[in-house]
Structure 1
Amino acid sequence: MTEILRAPAEVKYAEELDWLESVDDGHKPFAWRLSPKMVRLFILGSERADGLDRQIEQKWFGDRSFVERSIVTLASDRGLLLIGDPGTGKSWLAELLSAAISRNSTLVVQGTAGTTEDHIKYSWNISMVIAKGQSRESMIPSPIMTAMERGVIGRFEELTRSTSDVQDALISILSEKYVSIPELDDDNVVFAQPGFSIIATANSRDRGVNDLSSALKRRFNFVRIPVVSNKRSEAEIVRFRTSELLRRHSIELELPPTLLDILLDSFADLRAASAAASADDDKLESALSTAEQIGVLEDAILHSQFFGDRQLRAETLAGSLIGSLARRQPEDLAILNKYLHGVVEPRTKSGGPDWREFLEGGRAAIARLS
């Protein structure tokens, strides 16, 4: 498994899941591999009061109530819709829930403008149809149909990016819990087994792409995942993801606390400026999410490793931030330049050498892009 570029959660945490299952004596709905309390513990980490013989690390950072409501929804007969801004951890939470409940998080449909009903129902192996005719053997089940047959969790990413026809096809699956196969005379209905459910995600910034019908909305319980605004929680997420990055690349590099503070403060300042802006041209195109912070830090770490002295410096961090956030020219460059002169430059007087180096690195990056 060390050759997998990105192992799914059930593979990455297989030993931990095996151990939790071995000590879990709680009630398990349907064919769940873990009880609801153990699912929550797997996602949010263990505490001393849990009385376990080993520490379970926290994997998703957010309000406990969001996780509990998600688990309760999946234990019912309703689908779960995680909705929020980009980079709020919706997909990661969906993956962790599927891994803990079903030990399989890979039954995923990606919603796009090109997604069709075949992607959520079934298609046909043309060569087998020509040779032997249409049958269950020549049918190719979708990830959702496979989840129905196995009684596990299926996932649908970016639901609002799929067309209304595809969304409507989900209504019968979520309400009737079966899929008809009119091409077959016998064995022409696939019934969902106990434990089947769907976790869908939707980007709140994509509401105008293909808005959900009221009929489909009624089949889902909504859990809105807010943008992480607490600096301490955001720092924990960034450290967690950064440590994974360093392990994956076998990089030994220390993340200086002062540089992490500069990154967090910069994103907080830019978010505040974006919220106060009255026109779209005065806002960065970036969502300024926690995921984008991690991307900026990853870029800076890899640049330091491959083209620097293997020490993360404020100048490199500034270059990565400007390069990642300047998507429109000249609008985004003007906003970032204004931030450097209006916010960062005054901080160099009392913020120490790292802020001065960050300012110089930002100015140099803007000059290269201008």
Structure 2
Amino acid sequence: MTEQNESLRAPAEVKYADELDWLESVDDGPKPFSWRLSPKMVRLFVLGSERADGLEREIPQKWFGDRTFVERSIVTLASDRGLLLIGDPGTGKSWLAELLSAAISRNSTLVVQGTAGTTEDHIKYSWNVSQVIAKGQSRESMIPSPIMTAMERGVIGRFEELTRSTSDVQDALISILSEKYVSIPELDDDNIVFARPGFSIIATANSRDRGVNDLSSALKRRFNFVRIPVVTNKRSEAEIVRFRTSELLRRYRIELEVPPTLLDILLQSFADLRAAADSATSDDEKLESALSTAEQIGVLEDAILHSQFFGDRELRASTLAASLVGSLARRAPEDLAILNKFWHGVVEPRTQENPSDTPLQEFLEGGRRALAALS
């Protein structure tokens, strides 16, 4: 495994290796199958420790959401059913799947990405052509998919964007989830790969992609659904943005503080834009952006990097406004018209009510300049 300081983004089991080692050393709870941690410790790793847990070491929270979603996900993975995390873009589905896989299996990298080009080979196996020509078809010349590897090791496999894969691929998953084995008809001997205890699949699906490739009722029955809602609590959303932004700053080795006033402006702007989208009567009156927490983090990251490389290394409200406009104005003229309306109908009146609020005044002017440049 590549060392964390040599990789652009370390997987959770590498990033939190020391923490996972310590939790494993003090874990005396019952563990299903080949799990590395007990269900209680998996939950604690994901949601963080509390004083009542009585641990000698504090475990930070890594996923922010209702604990019942995490508990139901863990219980599902301890059963013989797959887990399907479904929700809007940016709700943390993939991050939760990665954390669960890291805690349970110490491997979150056995991933299949669902696309229109994903084939049955991607979830079962393919062949090393040169090996087949030289030695014929055998287990040695077979290339197992990440899902088959998870079956053989008795660990968690992941399937991202399940509804974006074709019906053929989805149908192939049905036999894997129900029969728990994969047949290899090309071989005469050793032609069945059985899943070891502990194997399961965590799939994710974007609720906005409903209708791209609908799941069959047969496949739905083999998954437990956990719906992850959009975070609407301002305090929780602020914690998520701070947590993810601090990680990004460490990755880029940037020493910069995000002023609380600017974070409040960002959170309020997204809340206002969501409210406008909810009251819109047509898609043309809604931004193409999902206005998710992940997109807030993207806006803030863009502003921080711009301040670092092209500014005075201090995050300013005008830079934040320009990043927000640049990130959300995806369609012309529709998105530009919506943002213009927001700036003149929401931001401007708010600055008039608070004329001494310098950051808000800078935010107004920065947004105006960014919109004028795009118009």
Report whether the alignment pairs 1:325 with 2:328: yes
**Amino acid paired to 2:107:** N
2:183 to 158, 180, 183: 180
- Superposition map of 1:34-53 within 5 A: 34-53=37-56
Unaligned runs of 5+ in 2: none
| Corresponding position of 2:14 | 11
Report whether the alignment pairs 1:309 with 2:318: no
- 1: CA distance, partners of 2:195 / 2:353: 63
2:113 to 104, 110, 124: 110
| Corresponding position of 1:358 | 363
Report whether the alignment pairs 1:72 with 2:75: yes
RMSD between aligned alpha carbons?
A: 0.4
| Corresponding position of 2:245 | 242
Q: 4+ residue stretches of structure 1 with deviation over 6 A? A: none
SS of residue paired to 1:349: helix
**Amino acid paired to 1:365:** A
| Corresponding position of 2:160 | 157
SS of residue paired to 1:200: strand
- Superposition map of 1:214-293 within 5 A: 214-293=217-296
What are the superposed Cα offsets for residues 22-45 of structure 1, whole Å, 9 maximum, x if unpaired? 000000000000000000000000
1:196, CA displacement in angstroms?
A: 0.1
1:350, CA displacement in angstroms?
A: 3.2
- 2: CA distance, partners of 1:246 / 1:185: 54
What are the superposed Cα offsets for residues 284-313 of structure 1, whole Å, 9 maximum, x if unpaired? 000000000000000000000000010000
- 1: CA distance, partners of 2:330 / 2:86: 25
| Corresponding position of 1:30 | 33
- Superposition map of 1:67-106 within 5 A: 67-106=70-109
| Corresponding position of 1:124 | 127
What are the superposed Cα offsets for residues 132-181 of structure 1, whole Å, 9 maximum, x if unpaired? 10000000000000000000000000000000000000000000000000
2:62 to 48, 59, 64: 59
**Amino acid paired to 1:223:** V
**Amino acid paired to 2:92:** G
1:354, CA displacement in angstroms?
A: 1.1
SS of residue paired to 1:61: coil
- 1: CA distance, partners of 2:292 / 2:174: 32
**Amino acid paired to 2:370:** A
- 1: CA distance, partners of 2:28 / 2:295: 40
**Amino acid paired to 2:144:** P
| Corresponding position of 1:337 | 340
| Corresponding position of 1:140 | 143
**Amino acid paired to 1:360:** E
1:349, CA displacement in angstroms?
A: 2.1
In the superposition, the TM-score normalised over structure 1's length comes to 1.00
Of 42-51 and 243-252, more deviation after overlay is shown by 243-252
- 2: CA distance, partners of 1:260 / 1:65: 28
1:355, CA displacement in angstroms?
A: 1.0
**Amino acid paired to 1:133:** G
What are the superposed Cα offsets for residues 75-123 of structure 1, whole Å, 9 maximum, x if unpaired? 0000000000000000000000000000000000000000000000000
Of 340-349 and 101-110, more deviation after overlay is shown by 340-349
SS of residue paired to 2:352: coil
Taking every aligned residue pair, what percent have the same amino acid on both sides? 88
1:237, CA displacement in angstroms?
A: 0.1
In the superposition, the TM-score normalised over structure 2's length comes to 0.98
- 2: CA distance, partners of 1:197 / 1:246: 34
- 1: CA distance, partners of 2:162 / 2:7: 27
| Corresponding position of 1:199 | 202
1:202, CA displacement in angstroms?
A: 0.1
